[in-house]
Amino acid sequence: MSSSDPPHHRCSAVVVMILLLLGFSLVAADDVSWSDDSGLESPGCTNKFQMVKVLNWVDGVKGDYFTGLTAQFGASVPSDADQSVRFPAAFVNPLDSCSNLSSRLDGRIALSVRGNCAFTEKAKNAEAAGASALLVINDKEDLDEMGCMEKDTSLNVSIPVLMISKSSGDALNRSMVENKNVELLLYAPKRPVVDLTAGFLLLMAVGTVVIASLWSELTDPDQAHESYSILAKELSSGGTRKDDPEKEILDISVTGAVFFIVTASIFLLLLFYFMSSWFVWVLTIFFCIGGMQGMHNIIMAVILRKCRNLGRKSVKLPLLGTMSVLSLLVIIFCLAFAVFWFVKRHASYSWAGQDVLGICLMITALQVVRLPNIKVATVLLCCAFVYDIFWVFISPLIFNESVMIVVAQGDSSSGESIPMLLRIPRFFDPWGGYDMIGFGDILFPGLLISFASRYDKIKKRSISNGYFLWLTIGYGVGLLLTYLGLYLMDGHGQPALLYIVPCTLGLVVILGLVRGELKELWNYGIEESETRTPEDPLPVA
């Protein structure tokens, strides 16, 4: 790369701000799910609440499916569409089904609005009129649980009863007002026991951390080896080394680690109280800028590793100054990629572009922000550990809902969501949805693993005798435990650092104690920094 190029590892204020303020730490499944909080149970009223797909045909043309929730009473719904039967649908009269119906519904699926009577009463009236099933249209988008009353001591409803959302009911009503023939089919597909796409997401997270930790060796192995050798000699002799002017490094301090968590908490609360579409748009633009810059750095490093001569020809541009032609072309490509993703961010395939930009952003951030020793790592990760648990599990006791989960879901009114997470579709799940992992669950352990990689290189440790390999394995185990917790809690978002921190920070402390190196790891670099004059910069590996 020519000297006129923007520094290879330089990170703009936008990237640092995104890293500091938007390190959301959450593993979740963005999908259709329901936790069974059954209330009053009595004979005939012991069903578990279950999500149901409602397939619909209008004049023989199949449309999108609606989602429904079964009642605590009534017949069960087949788990396979082939085992279910297609029935015509009809609105009841009266619409709320709170009294005897005025006409027969032999073989039809009854559609009723919510009304003021008990759900069990609606079901009895629909069944008495010969309906094959009852769909209650809610007066809002949420699906409420339809339970039994205390007086329903012995209930015998033999037809399926479920609730659909207001928008689903409106769509059916529009078709029926136009005198079209509407047919419905109900079934409740079962989710796979093992979520294979979660494994892909785990590989993406671990791969991002490994690539970021070994980036200098992957892109310029000769220079990296020389840098580590020189730094090892200077540190062993108590000397100092001047920074490479082409690199911009931010070493986190103990104060900075605490400030990081406090600032992230304040920003999380701002998002919780003032979430709106324009707020999410601003954050999405910051994400695009940071991801675009990260992609530029990565592409330039990969190209120049093989073809260094390509970066010699330069051009002078207004505002941008002098830069290589290659860098300019890469910037144009990255800009086009980011703009295309921004425009198409609601498309079904947008997850791929979001993951590419996010991974590029995190790899670049882990080159810029570093942990100097295990002392700072302990403060940062322990604070993040408490931060994660508090905002996911404890915040509902104060704010009536999980602040972290609400913020991660974005602005429901506009459909906008914050892109600071990796996500992948659940390809093998009939309910679809996404598996997600927040940037914080990659960046926090990534900082520790990157430190371990640098430490091993400077100390010339082998793979088995070092810390990098074992921390990487520990990180993978922590993610596996996180997904196990996600499964056992029926898809409820998990504070991943609850599992990751003990498997990484706890592991390095145990290894350090066993090897007698914990004191060195804890105070690594402190003696050297104390011998420098204030003008001397920190050493950079």
CA distance 148 to 24: 40
CA distance 14 to 442: 19
DSSP 3-state of 384 = helix
Read off φ and ψ for residue 379, nearest 5 degrees. -65, -50
> Is 441 a known active-site residue?
yes
Domain layout of the chain by residue ranges: 51-146+156-187, 193-233+248-528
Per DSSP bridges, beta strands 133-137 and 314-317 are unpaired
In the predicted model, is pLDDT for residue 36 greater than 60? no
Question: Which has more pLDDT, 80 or 277?
Answer: 80
pLDDT of residue 271: 85
Question: Which has more pLDDT, 193 or 160?
Answer: 160
Min mean pLDDT across 97-101, 433-437, 535-539 is at 535-539
* Highest mean pLDDT (candidates 225-229, 425-429, 532-536): 425-429
> Residue 418 carries which side chain, given as an amino acid letter?
I
Encode 311-344: b = buried (16+ Cβ within 10 Å), e = exposed. Answer: beebeeeeeeeebbebbeebbeebeebbeebbee
What is the CB-side half-sphere exposure of residue 39 using CA atoms within 13 A? 12
Q: pTM for the complete prediction?
A: 0.81
In the predicted model, is pLDDT for residue 535 greater than 50? no
Catalytic residue among 31, 195, 411, 441: 441
Each residue of 361-408: pLDDT tens digit? 999 999 888 999 999 999 999 999 999 899 988 999 999 888 888 888
Order across the sheet with 421-425: list the strands. 27-30, 434-438, 421-425
In the predicted model, is pLDDT for residue 176 greater than 70? yes
Each residue of 223-233: pLDDT tens digit? 666 666 666 66
pLDDT of residue 414: 72
Catalytic residue among 388, 411, 435, 456: 388
Compute how many other C-beta atoms are within 10 angstroms of the C-beta atom of residue 397: 8
Compute how many other C-beta atoms are within 10 angstroms of the C-beta atom of residue 148: 25
Question: Which has more pLDDT, 235 or 417?
Answer: 417
Min mean pLDDT across 113-122, 224-233, 464-473 is at 224-233
> Is 96 a known active-site residue?
no
> Residue 289 carries which side chain, given as an amino acid letter?
I
In the predicted model, is pLDDT for residue 455 greater than 50? yes
In the predicted model, is pLDDT for residue 530 greater than 60? no
Residues 66-95 have a mean pLDDT of 92
What DSSP string describes 297-361?
HHHHHHHHHH-GGGG--EEEETTTEEEEHHHHHHHHHHHHHHHHHHHTTTSTTHHHHHHHHHHHH
CATH of the structural domain 51-146+156-187, one choice from 3.10.450.50, 3.30.470.10, 3.40.50.450, 3.50.30.30: 3.50.30.30
pLDDT of residue 20: 47
Residues 126-155 have a mean pLDDT of 84
pLDDT of residue 238: 54
CA distance 373 to 454: 11
Q: Token pair for residue 76?
A: 């069960």
In the predicted model, is pLDDT for residue 64 greater than 70? yes
Residues 329-344 have a mean pLDDT of 95
What is the average pLDDT value for the chain, to the nearest integer?
A: 83
Identify the band that residue 357 occupies on the pLDDT scale cut at 50, 70 and 90.
Answer: very high
DSSP for residue 371: -
pLDDT of residue 226: 63
pLDDT of residue 1: 39
Residues 31-58 have a mean pLDDT of 72
